């Protein structure tokens, strides 16, 4: 089984969505993990809600420090940051940088923020389907 590590700075949104989606959809071929260089104290509750809407339950997800994965070989590292501060992970066989907007940057009412997170979720899941569905 191939191992994938999704990385973002805070590990509270994009990388958590990617980890949950891969494990739920492609768990027969991949084990997905996520981490960040500056983990938040918790996963964004609207991210958890947006994932539940597509049948993926991640309420127990916790932001993790990238150091927890030091020395663990990964087949694929995917950085999801939309800024120039994405951390690197030298133990991956292959690295892909795929940018998505940060859910934390979305402003407005709760419903407006959730709509923005849904759009990011859909972009991430579509990209994963295109990338892993062909592998």
Catalytic residues: 8, 81, 86
Residues contacting residue 100 through CB under 8 Å, at least 6 positions apart: 14, 80, 82, 120, 123, 124, 127
Instruction: Give 12's Cβ-side CA count (13 Å radius).
Output: 16
Nearest-angstrom CA–CA distance, 129 and 135:
10
């Amino acid at each position: 089984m191939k191992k994938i590590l999704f990385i973002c700075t805070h590990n509270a949104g994009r990388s958590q969505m990617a980890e949950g989606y891969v494990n739920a959809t492609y768990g027969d071929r991949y084990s997905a993990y996520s981490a960040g260089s500056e983990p938040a104290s918790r996963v964004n509750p609207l991210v958890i809600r947006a994932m539940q809407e597509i049948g993926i339950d991640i309420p127990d997800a916790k932001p993790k420090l990238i150091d927890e994965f030091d020395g663990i070989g990964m087949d694929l590292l995917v950085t999801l940051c939309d800024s120039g501060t994405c951390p690197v992970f030298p133990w991956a066989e292959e690295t892909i940088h795929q940018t998505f907007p940060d859910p934390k940057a979305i402003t407005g009412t709760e419903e407006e923020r959730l709509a923005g997170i849904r759009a990011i979720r859909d972009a991430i899941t579509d990209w994963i389907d295109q990338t892993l569905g062909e592998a």
